[in-house]
Structure 1
Amino acid sequence: MRVGVCFVAIIVLILMAGVFTAGLNYCVYHEIQKRLEIRITGDFVPGVFQTSFAVRRGSFSWEDKVRLLEGNVDVWFDIRTLFSEKGIRIVVESSDARIKFLGSWAIQEGIEDATVEFLRADVVLGRRQLTMINGIEARSPSFQFSVRNVQDGR
Protein backbone atom coordinates (compact mmCIF):
# COMPACT_ATOMS: atom_id res chain seq x y z
CA MET A 1 0.00 0.00 0.00
CA ARG A 2 2.75 2.47 0.93
CA VAL A 3 4.67 1.73 -2.27
CA GLY A 4 1.59 2.65 -4.32
CA VAL A 5 1.10 5.92 -2.41
CA CYS A 6 4.78 6.83 -2.81
CA PHE A 7 4.62 6.03 -6.52
CA VAL A 8 1.55 8.24 -6.99
CA ALA A 9 3.19 11.04 -4.95
CA ILE A 10 6.30 10.88 -7.13
CA ILE A 11 4.21 11.01 -10.32
CA VAL A 12 2.26 14.01 -8.98
CA LEU A 13 5.51 15.81 -8.06
CA ILE A 14 6.95 15.17 -11.53
CA LEU A 15 3.79 16.51 -13.19
CA MET A 16 3.80 19.57 -10.93
CA ALA A 17 7.47 20.24 -11.77
CA GLY A 18 6.64 20.06 -15.49
CA VAL A 19 3.74 22.48 -15.11
CA PHE A 20 5.87 24.80 -12.94
CA THR A 21 8.74 25.00 -15.46
CA ALA A 22 6.35 25.53 -18.37
CA GLY A 23 4.67 28.37 -16.43
CA LEU A 24 8.02 29.87 -15.45
CA ASN A 25 9.13 29.79 -19.10
CA TYR A 26 5.96 31.64 -20.11
CA CYS A 27 6.56 34.31 -17.44
CA VAL A 28 10.17 34.83 -18.60
CA TYR A 29 8.96 35.01 -22.24
CA HIS A 30 6.73 37.95 -21.27
CA GLU A 31 9.37 39.52 -19.00
CA ILE A 32 11.88 39.60 -21.88
CA GLN A 33 9.32 41.40 -24.06
CA LYS A 34 8.59 43.88 -21.28
CA ARG A 35 12.24 44.63 -20.49
CA LEU A 36 13.28 45.10 -24.12
CA GLU A 37 9.99 46.77 -25.08
CA ILE A 38 9.44 44.40 -27.99
CA ARG A 39 6.51 42.37 -29.23
CA ILE A 40 7.34 38.82 -30.27
CA THR A 41 4.95 37.05 -32.62
CA GLY A 42 5.02 33.36 -33.48
CA ASP A 43 4.28 30.07 -31.80
CA PHE A 44 5.52 29.92 -28.18
CA VAL A 45 6.75 26.41 -27.27
CA PRO A 46 7.72 26.06 -23.59
CA GLY A 47 10.45 23.67 -22.52
CA VAL A 48 9.23 21.13 -19.99
CA PHE A 49 11.58 20.31 -17.09
CA GLN A 50 14.08 22.90 -18.36
CA THR A 51 14.45 26.67 -18.26
CA SER A 52 14.01 27.29 -21.95
CA PHE A 53 11.46 27.98 -24.62
CA ALA A 54 11.28 28.30 -28.37
CA VAL A 55 9.45 30.64 -30.72
CA ARG A 56 8.61 28.94 -34.01
CA ARG A 57 7.91 30.99 -37.14
CA GLY A 58 8.67 34.06 -35.04
CA SER A 59 9.28 37.71 -35.75
CA PHE A 60 10.12 40.79 -33.69
CA SER A 61 11.79 44.16 -33.94
CA TRP A 62 14.16 45.50 -31.28
CA GLU A 63 14.67 49.28 -31.18
CA ASP A 64 16.78 50.51 -34.08
CA LYS A 65 19.11 47.50 -33.94
CA VAL A 66 17.69 44.35 -35.50
CA ARG A 67 14.46 42.87 -36.80
CA LEU A 68 13.78 39.15 -37.06
CA LEU A 69 11.72 38.85 -40.22
CA GLU A 70 11.21 35.11 -40.04
CA GLY A 71 12.78 32.21 -38.21
CA ASN A 72 12.85 29.85 -35.28
CA VAL A 73 14.47 31.02 -32.05
CA ASP A 74 15.52 28.96 -29.02
CA VAL A 75 15.93 30.80 -25.70
CA TRP A 76 17.57 29.52 -22.51
CA PHE A 77 17.74 31.46 -19.26
CA ASP A 78 19.72 31.08 -16.06
CA ILE A 79 17.20 30.55 -13.27
CA ARG A 80 19.80 31.72 -10.70
CA THR A 81 19.69 35.22 -12.24
CA LEU A 82 15.91 35.66 -12.26
CA PHE A 83 15.92 37.94 -9.22
CA SER A 84 19.45 39.27 -9.61
CA GLU A 85 20.18 42.99 -9.39
CA LYS A 86 22.25 42.71 -12.57
CA GLY A 87 19.42 41.13 -14.55
CA ILE A 88 18.36 37.91 -16.24
CA ARG A 89 20.99 36.06 -18.25
CA ILE A 90 19.56 34.66 -21.47
CA VAL A 91 21.05 32.80 -24.41
CA VAL A 92 19.28 33.07 -27.77
CA GLU A 93 20.11 30.83 -30.73
CA SER A 94 18.73 30.64 -34.23
CA SER A 95 19.70 29.00 -37.51
CA ASP A 96 18.62 29.98 -41.00
CA ALA A 97 16.76 33.07 -39.79
CA ARG A 98 15.98 36.08 -41.97
CA ILE A 99 17.05 39.24 -40.17
CA LYS A 100 17.33 42.91 -40.99
CA PHE A 101 19.92 45.13 -39.34
CA LEU A 102 18.56 48.59 -38.54
CA GLY A 103 20.07 52.01 -37.81
CA SER A 104 23.67 52.12 -36.64
CA TRP A 105 24.04 48.34 -36.79
CA ALA A 106 23.16 48.36 -40.52
CA ILE A 107 25.63 51.20 -41.15
CA GLN A 108 28.35 49.51 -39.07
CA GLU A 109 28.00 46.17 -40.86
CA GLY A 110 27.17 47.62 -44.29
CA ILE A 111 24.39 45.03 -44.60
CA GLU A 112 20.69 45.42 -44.09
CA ASP A 113 18.87 42.21 -45.06
CA ALA A 114 20.54 38.87 -44.43
CA THR A 115 19.80 35.24 -43.87
CA VAL A 116 21.99 34.07 -41.03
CA GLU A 117 23.24 30.51 -40.95
CA PHE A 118 23.87 30.86 -37.23
CA LEU A 119 22.96 33.45 -34.60
CA ARG A 120 23.84 33.23 -30.90
CA ALA A 121 23.46 35.94 -28.28
CA ASP A 122 24.45 35.51 -24.62
CA VAL A 123 23.27 38.64 -22.78
CA VAL A 124 22.09 39.95 -19.42
CA LEU A 125 18.83 41.91 -19.42
CA GLY A 126 18.47 44.66 -16.83
CA ARG A 127 15.23 46.48 -16.08
CA ARG A 128 14.87 48.19 -19.47
CA GLN A 129 18.02 47.42 -21.43
CA LEU A 130 20.93 45.08 -21.94
CA THR A 131 23.35 45.46 -19.05
CA MET A 132 25.97 43.06 -20.37
CA ILE A 133 26.82 41.28 -23.60
CA ASN A 134 28.76 38.09 -22.89
CA GLY A 135 28.82 37.41 -26.61
CA ILE A 136 26.89 37.91 -29.83
CA GLU A 137 27.81 36.02 -32.96
CA ALA A 138 26.11 35.98 -36.35
CA ARG A 139 27.34 34.16 -39.44
CA SER A 140 26.04 34.15 -42.98
CA PRO A 141 27.56 33.62 -46.43
CA SER A 142 27.96 37.40 -46.84
CA PHE A 143 29.23 38.50 -43.40
CA GLN A 144 30.38 37.55 -39.93
CA PHE A 145 29.59 39.64 -36.85
CA SER A 146 30.98 39.04 -33.36
CA VAL A 147 30.94 41.02 -30.10
CA ARG A 148 32.34 39.80 -26.78
CA ASN A 149 32.31 41.02 -23.16
CA VAL A 150 30.63 44.42 -23.37
CA GLN A 151 29.27 45.91 -20.15
CA ASP A 152 26.99 48.90 -19.62
CA GLY A 153 29.14 51.82 -18.47
CA ARG A 154 26.75 53.07 -15.81
Structure 2
Amino acid sequence: MKNLKKQRRIQIILVATVALVLATGLIGYAMRDGINLFRAPTQVLADPPAPNEVFRIGGLVAEGSITRGQGEVIRFEVTDGGATVPVSFRGVLPDLFSENQGMVGTGSYVDGVFVATEILAKHDETYMPKEVIDALKEQGVYQDAEGS
Protein backbone atom coordinates (compact mmCIF):
# COMPACT_ATOMS: atom_id res chain seq x y z
CA MET A 1 0.00 0.00 0.00
CA LYS A 2 2.81 2.43 0.93
CA ASN A 3 4.70 1.51 -2.21
CA LEU A 4 1.63 2.32 -4.34
CA LYS A 5 1.25 5.81 -2.77
CA LYS A 6 4.95 6.53 -3.34
CA GLN A 7 4.70 5.41 -6.97
CA ARG A 8 1.59 7.58 -7.49
CA ARG A 9 3.41 10.65 -6.03
CA ILE A 10 6.35 10.11 -8.39
CA GLN A 11 3.98 9.85 -11.36
CA ILE A 12 2.23 13.12 -10.37
CA ILE A 13 5.56 14.92 -9.97
CA LEU A 14 6.73 13.68 -13.38
CA VAL A 15 3.47 14.70 -15.09
CA ALA A 16 3.60 18.14 -13.42
CA THR A 17 7.23 18.61 -14.51
CA VAL A 18 6.44 17.65 -18.11
CA ALA A 19 3.42 19.99 -18.12
CA LEU A 20 5.55 22.85 -16.75
CA VAL A 21 8.27 22.32 -19.37
CA LEU A 22 5.66 22.12 -22.13
CA ALA A 23 3.89 25.29 -20.92
CA THR A 24 7.19 27.19 -20.75
CA GLY A 25 8.05 26.07 -24.29
CA LEU A 26 4.65 27.15 -25.63
CA ILE A 27 4.90 30.56 -23.94
CA GLY A 28 8.37 31.11 -25.41
CA TYR A 29 7.14 30.06 -28.86
CA ALA A 30 4.15 32.40 -28.67
CA MET A 31 6.26 35.37 -27.55
CA ARG A 32 8.99 35.05 -30.20
CA ASP A 33 7.26 37.60 -32.45
CA GLY A 34 5.61 39.56 -29.67
CA ILE A 35 8.81 40.99 -28.23
CA ASN A 36 9.83 44.10 -30.17
CA LEU A 37 13.28 45.29 -29.22
CA PHE A 38 13.96 49.03 -29.22
CA ARG A 39 16.83 50.43 -31.29
CA ALA A 40 18.16 53.92 -31.84
CA PRO A 41 19.11 55.00 -35.40
CA THR A 42 22.82 54.67 -34.54
CA GLN A 43 22.27 51.03 -33.52
CA VAL A 44 20.25 50.29 -36.67
CA LEU A 45 22.99 51.62 -38.96
CA ALA A 46 25.82 49.98 -36.98
CA ASP A 47 24.19 46.54 -37.02
CA PRO A 48 21.37 46.41 -39.61
CA PRO A 49 18.68 43.87 -38.69
CA ALA A 50 17.34 41.26 -41.09
CA PRO A 51 14.53 42.51 -43.39
CA ASN A 52 12.01 40.17 -41.74
CA GLU A 53 12.86 41.23 -38.17
CA VAL A 54 10.22 43.42 -36.51
CA PHE A 55 11.60 45.94 -34.02
CA ARG A 56 10.99 49.43 -32.64
CA ILE A 57 13.00 52.50 -33.60
CA GLY A 58 12.87 55.80 -31.81
CA GLY A 59 14.33 59.26 -31.81
CA LEU A 60 13.48 62.74 -32.95
CA VAL A 61 11.75 63.47 -36.25
CA ALA A 62 14.39 65.35 -38.27
CA GLU A 63 13.51 68.94 -39.13
CA GLY A 64 12.35 69.46 -42.71
CA SER A 65 12.22 65.73 -43.43
CA ILE A 66 8.45 65.07 -43.55
CA THR A 67 7.20 64.52 -47.10
CA ARG A 68 3.86 63.16 -48.17
CA GLY A 69 3.78 60.85 -51.16
CA GLN A 70 1.03 59.33 -53.23
CA GLY A 71 -2.02 58.39 -51.19
CA GLU A 72 -1.32 57.80 -47.53
CA VAL A 73 2.47 57.28 -47.77
CA ILE A 74 4.48 59.56 -45.51
CA ARG A 75 8.27 59.68 -45.53
CA PHE A 76 10.44 61.28 -42.87
CA GLU A 77 13.73 60.77 -41.08
CA VAL A 78 14.31 59.84 -37.47
CA THR A 79 17.54 60.83 -35.74
CA ASP A 80 19.26 60.41 -32.41
CA GLY A 81 21.83 63.09 -33.12
CA GLY A 82 24.45 60.57 -34.23
CA ALA A 83 22.70 58.93 -37.15
CA THR A 84 19.59 59.39 -39.28
CA VAL A 85 17.35 56.64 -40.66
CA PRO A 86 14.74 57.23 -43.38
CA VAL A 87 11.25 56.04 -42.47
CA SER A 88 8.30 55.18 -44.71
CA PHE A 89 4.82 54.87 -43.24
CA ARG A 90 1.48 54.16 -44.89
CA GLY A 91 -1.41 55.32 -42.78
CA VAL A 92 -2.60 58.12 -40.60
CA LEU A 93 -0.04 59.75 -38.32
CA PRO A 94 -0.92 60.63 -34.72
CA ASP A 95 -2.25 64.17 -34.24
CA LEU A 96 0.76 65.24 -32.16
CA PHE A 97 3.35 63.94 -34.65
CA SER A 98 5.65 66.77 -35.79
CA GLU A 99 9.26 67.70 -36.54
CA ASN A 100 11.80 67.87 -33.70
CA GLN A 101 9.50 65.74 -31.51
CA GLY A 102 10.00 62.28 -30.06
CA MET A 103 8.53 59.27 -31.84
CA VAL A 104 8.67 55.50 -31.70
CA GLY A 105 7.87 53.35 -34.73
CA THR A 106 7.32 49.62 -35.08
CA GLY A 107 8.28 47.91 -38.33
CA SER A 108 11.24 46.46 -40.22
CA TYR A 109 14.37 47.73 -41.95
CA VAL A 110 14.22 46.96 -45.68
CA ASP A 111 16.78 48.19 -48.24
CA GLY A 112 18.03 51.02 -46.03
CA VAL A 113 14.55 52.30 -45.14
CA PHE A 114 12.59 51.61 -41.96
CA VAL A 115 9.13 50.54 -43.14
CA ALA A 116 6.84 51.37 -40.23
CA THR A 117 3.55 49.64 -39.52
CA GLU A 118 2.81 51.77 -36.45
CA ILE A 119 3.94 55.24 -35.35
CA LEU A 120 3.60 56.52 -31.80
CA ALA A 121 4.15 60.16 -30.90
CA LYS A 122 4.38 62.15 -27.70
CA HIS A 123 1.14 62.54 -25.78
CA ASP A 124 1.79 65.99 -24.32
CA GLU A 125 4.28 68.84 -24.58
CA THR A 126 6.96 67.24 -22.38
CA TYR A 127 6.57 63.51 -22.96
CA MET A 128 9.23 61.46 -24.68
CA PRO A 129 9.52 57.65 -24.42
CA LYS A 130 12.17 56.50 -21.93
CA GLU A 131 14.00 54.50 -24.60
CA VAL A 132 14.27 57.61 -26.80
CA ILE A 133 15.56 59.70 -23.88
CA ASP A 134 18.17 57.05 -23.07
CA ALA A 135 19.33 56.88 -26.69
CA LEU A 136 19.53 60.68 -26.97
CA LYS A 137 21.42 60.94 -23.67
CA GLU A 138 23.86 58.33 -24.97
CA GLN A 139 24.52 60.55 -28.01
CA GLY A 140 24.85 63.65 -25.81
CA VAL A 141 21.88 65.35 -27.53
CA TYR A 142 19.22 65.19 -24.81
CA GLN A 143 19.08 67.80 -22.08
CA ASP A 144 16.66 67.63 -19.17
CA ALA A 145 13.93 70.28 -19.11
CA GLU A 146 14.33 72.99 -16.50
CA GLY A 147 13.02 72.07 -13.09
CA SER A 148 12.99 68.31 -13.65
Given the two structures, how large is their TM-score scaled by the length of structure 1?
0.33
| Structure with the greater alpha carbon radius of gyration | 2
Q: Which structure has more strand as a fraction of its residues? A: 1
Q: Point out which structure has higher relative CO (alpha carbons under 8 A, 6+ apart).
A: 2
